[in-house]
Amino acid sequence: MPIDPYILLLLATVGVAALLPARGTAADVASGASTAAIALLFFLYGARLSTREALDGLRHWRLHTTVLVCTFVIFPLLGLAARGLVPVLLTQPLYQGLLFLTLVPSTIQSSIAFTSIARGNVPAAICAGSFSSLVGIVLTPLLAAALLGSSGGGFSADSLIKIVLQLLVPFLAGQVLRPWIADFVARHRKVLGLVDRGSILLVVYTAFSEGMVQGIWHRVNPVRLAGLLVVEAALLAVMLALTWYGAKVLRFGRGDRIAIQFAGSKKSLASGLPMASVLFGAHASLAVLPLMLFHQMQLMVCAVIAKRRAHDPEVTTPSASAGGSRTEVGTGPRSR
- The pLDDT tens digits of the residues spanning 199-253 come to 888 888 888 787 777 666 666 788 888 999 999 999 999 999 999 999 999 999 9
DSSP strand pairing (316-318 vs 326-328): antiparallel
Q: What is the mean pLDDT of the chain?
A: 81
Q: Out of 27-31, 160-164, 171-175, pick the least confident.
A: 160-164
Categorize the per-residue pLDDT at 282 as very low, low, confident or very high, splitting at 50, 70 and 90: low
What is the value of pTM for the model shown? Answer: 0.78
The answer to whether the beta carbons of residues 268 and 105 sit under 8 Å apart is yes
By C-alpha distance, which of 287, 242, 41, 35 is closest to 144?
287
The answer to whether the beta carbons of residues 132 and 271 sit under 8 Å apart is no
Backbone angles phi, psi at 318, to 5 degrees: -70, 135
The distance from CA 130 to its chain's CA centroid, rounded to whole angstroms, is 11
Q: What is the pLDDT of residue 247?
A: 95
Q: Out of 111-115, 193-197, 227-231, pick the least confident.
A: 193-197
In this predicted structure, the answer to whether residue 81 has a pLDDT above a threshold of 90 is yes
Mean pLDDT of 1-21: 79
Mean pLDDT of 4-25: 83
Mean pLDDT of 68-84: 95
Percent of the chain with pLDDT over 90: 26
In this predicted structure, the answer to whether residue 316 has a pLDDT above a threshold of 60 is no
Q: What is the pLDDT of residue 248?
A: 94
Burial of residue 213 (number of CB atoms within 10 Å: 0-12, 13-18, 19+): middle
The answer to whether the beta carbons of residues 258 and 128 sit under 8 Å apart is no
Q: Out of 6-10, 105-109, 132-136, 169-173, pick the least confident.
A: 6-10
Sequence length of the chain is: 336
Strands (E) located in the chain: 316-318, 326-328, 332-334
* Torsion angle of C-alpha atoms 243, 101, 172, 277, degrees rounded to 10: -170
Question: Can you give the residue ranges of every domain in the chain?
Answer: 5-334
128 vs 336, which has greater pLDDT? 128
Q: What is the pLDDT of residue 305?
A: 92
In this predicted structure, the answer to whether residue 19 has a pLDDT above a threshold of 50 is yes
In this predicted structure, the answer to whether residue 328 has a pLDDT above a threshold of 70 is no
Q: What is the pLDDT of residue 278?
A: 80
Rounded CA-CA distance 145/139 in Å is 10
Q: What is the pLDDT of residue 321?
A: 41
Mean pLDDT of 276-291: 79
By C-alpha distance, which of 206, 284, 247, 245 is closest to 29?
206
Q: What is the pLDDT of residue 75?
A: 97
Burial of residue 153 (number of CB atoms within 10 Å: 0-12, 13-18, 19+): buried
In this predicted structure, the answer to whether residue 25 has a pLDDT above a threshold of 90 is no
Most confident listed range (69-83, 140-154, 161-175): 69-83
The answer to whether the beta carbons of residues 41 and 272 sit under 8 Å apart is no
Backbone angles phi, psi at 328, to 5 degrees: -110, 120
Mean pLDDT of 291-305: 89
Mean pLDDT of 33-60: 76
In this predicted structure, the answer to whether residue 102 has a pLDDT above a threshold of 80 is yes
Longest Cα–Cα distance in the chain = 64
200 vs 261, which has greater pLDDT? 261
Rounded CA-CA distance 110/268 in Å is 9
By C-alpha distance, which of 96, 104, 175 is closest to 139?
104
Q: What is the CATH number of domain 5-334?
A: 1.20.1530.20
